[in-house]
Chain A
């Protein structure tokens, strides 16, 4: 469904992505991990065109993200994205956060949008917070609302950019639980995360990045059982042994 081919990107003279090739099939969960600064977030932001890349191509269900003539807004409406810092709109209530794009982009009526919003919030156990502003919610609650905001668009795939990195430890699981459930429901997901427990539990494949390049791209069990490269071994030993 998502195909990344020989993608390269530079910030000035500095190459942040080097010849990255991978793909995410329908209903597949792919975890992207690696040390900070390895280009994981940049890669995932290229998938919906938030970051432009200079070389290579990305297609989502056959639509070319990297193409010049592509209607990016239409494409983005079909790919959900969850950010590290939630990025809920602080001046709107939870309800308005979820309704805005449904009405403006999908052209849903107010009633349809609100019904969808209520159903989604109910699913993540946040119905009682629908009239609150994001600032009145905990980090974990905000991130669950943010996931709902993305799901409200009925996306064909979901991108997660370190969805639990900004959370207090006790709130990480409530967000991961929602993501696990999504994965079980067959959502196509690309997840940048350091949560190796989550990766082990739901990922079909793990993509390991280092210094802008995809170093390993293997089924989850193989990756955790016997990583090929020293860099991946080193990374895993650092992240798992404490």
Chain B
């Protein structure tokens, strides 16, 4: 039968930890950036100003019709052309993820804004608050509360998607695992371990989502 040797994991822990850090960092920054730009896109789309909503809608539909891996390539090769100098794999991947996720987040946030009763905005208007004050203090806080579970779910998907950065030769957790697997000849052990780590992180994430959902019902 197989002769498993899980010591390979222990021996390579620092290397694996570096990979995991990169995955988590990329996820965290892309979620923050994605929500930030996604909110702007959602507000543009709902602004009722035709040019703004058209630009936002075009962007969202364009990004959502191409595979993520293509967007990662685009930014890896295009951004240096535009800037005239390379910016490194990490930053090009971060920009790609942020702008890609912004399109998905904007759709979630748009639905969240629309889930807030129209009268809420009118109540703000009636007291003389400006459009941005109404969004900032009244509409968006309620929208994010309603959408929190879906935002976290999207974050989990993003975390899984970060494994695609191997195409620009970044060493995320998945890439590191497969490098070790191949160089040490311990494919099965390493892929079982990688699966376990992804499962634990993502499952913890979904438990968190379930708690958020319960909280939002109560």
Specify which chain B residues have a CB less than 8 angstroms from the CB of A80 in the assembled complex.
Answer: 126
Chain B residue nearest in CB terms to A74: B128
B137 part of interface (Cβ distance < 8 Å): yes
Residues of A within 8 A of B145 (CB): 91
A208 within 8 A of B: no
Contact status of A105 and B129, CB under 8 A, knowing A83-B122, A87-B120, A89-B123: yes
Cβ contact within 8 Å between B126 and A150: yes
Q: Which of A85, A91, A105 contacts B127 (CB 8 A)?
A: A105
**What is the CB-to-nearest-CB distance from A148 to chain B, in angstroms, rounded to a whole number?**
12
Q: Mark B128-147, 1 if CB is under 8 A from A, else 0.
A: 11100100011001100100
B interface SS class: helix
Residues of B within 8 A of A (CB-CB), count: 18
A77 beta carbon closer than 8 Å to chain B: yes
Cross-chain contact of A89 among B120, B125, B126, B133 (Cβ < 8 A): B120
Q: Quick check: is A100 within 8 A (CB to CB) of the other chain? A: yes
* B117: Cβ under 8 A from any A Cβ: yes
Shortest Cβ distance from B118 into A: residue: A87
Q: A189 interface residue, CB < 8 Å from B?
A: no
A95 at the interface (CB under 8 A from B): no
Is residue A66 contacting chain B, with contact meaning CB distance below 8 A? no
The docked-state distance in angstroms from the alpha carbon of A41 to that of B13 is 68
Residues of A within 8 A of B141 (CB): 91
Contact call B137/A100, Cβ cutoff below 8 A: yes
Min CB gap A234→B, angstroms: 31
Q: Which residues of A contact B123 (CB under 8 A)?
A: 81, 83, 87-89, 146
B119 at the interface (CB under 8 A from A): yes
Residues of A within 8 A of B130 (CB): 73
State which residues 100-126 of B face A: CB under 8 Å.
117, 119-120, 122-126
Q: CB within 8 A of B119: which of A87, A100, A101? A: A87
Q: How many A-B residue pairs have CB under 8 A?
A: 64
Residue numbers in A under 8 Å from B124 (CB-CB): 101
Partner of A48, one of B120, B126, B129, B133: B126
Residues on A with beta carbons closer than 8 Å to the beta carbon of B142 = 89-91
Range, interface on chain A: 20 to 34
Tell me the complex Cα distance, A63–B126, Å: 16
User: How many angstroms from the CA of A202 to the CA of B120 in the assembled complex?
Assistant: 29
By beta carbon, the residue of chain B nearest A81 is B126
Q: Which of A77, A87, A100 has a CB less than 8 Å from the CB of B117? A: A87
| B126: A residues at CB distance < 8 A | 48, 50, 76, 79-81, 83, 150
Chain A residues whose C-beta falls within 8 Å of the C-beta of B138 in the assembled complex: 89, 100
Docked-complex contact B137 and A50, CB < 8 angstroms: no
Per the bound structure, the CA–CA distance linking A75 and B123 in Å amounts to: 14
| A residues near B120, Cβ cutoff 8 Å | 87, 89
Between A and B, 20 residue pairs with Cβ closer than 8 Å are A50-B122, A50-B125, A50-B126, A76-B126, A76-B128, A79-B126, A81-B123, A83-B122, A83-B126, A85-B119, A87-B117, A89-B138, A91-B141, A100-B127, A100-B129, A101-B124, A104-B133, A105-B127, A146-B123, A150-B126
